[in-house]
Amino acid sequence: MASKWIETLTGSLEQKKQYKQDKARIDALPDPYGAAAKALHRYLMYSGGIVDGDTLITMFGDLADLWERAAADGTPVRDIVGDDPVEFAESFARAYLGKQWIDKERARLVKAIDDAEGMAPR
């Protein structure tokens, strides 16, 4: 009972657990893979704009998988991210586009304009 109340306030405890596990996998990677994965993780956290917890968990799990495979195979970092790491990160994030933080603001703007239109003298 208490866990449902806590999850209502803080979000899914299972998602938090999975996120910590995936973050630990990234942190355990040898360099240069660990450094690249951490940089991408940080960039995705700040720029991804994804607010759906399930989507984030999937994306970060896949990010950890990608870099673990690269480290195991000895694939050069640039072979993965190419010449433009920003484009790579943004393309990676686009593959997971679900609900975004801006969606709520878009809906709020539409509602505000609809409400304002209803206030106009007729």
pLDDT tens-digit map of 31-54? 999 999 999 999 998 886 776 788
- 2-6, 17-21, 51-55, 100-104 — which one is most confidently predicted on average? 17-21
Candidates 107, 84, 34, 41; CA nearest to 50 is 41
Query: What's the whole-number average pLDDT of the chain?
Result: 87
Residue 97 has pLDDT above 90, yes or no: no
2-119: CATH superfamily = c-terminal domain of poly(a) binding protein (1.10.1900.10)
Q: Give the burial class of 33: count Cβ atoms within 10 A of its Cβ; 0-12 exposed, 13-18 middle, 19 or more buried.
A: buried
Tell me the average pLDDT across 71-98: 92
| Distance (Å, whole) CA 46 – CA 41 | 9
For 63-99, b/e burial (b = at least 16 CB within 10 A) is bbebbbebbeeeeebeebbeeebeeebeebbeebeee
- Residues written for the chain: 122
Task: Please tell me the pTM assigned to this model.
Answer: 0.72
Tell me if 77 sits within 8 A of 30, measured CB to CB: no
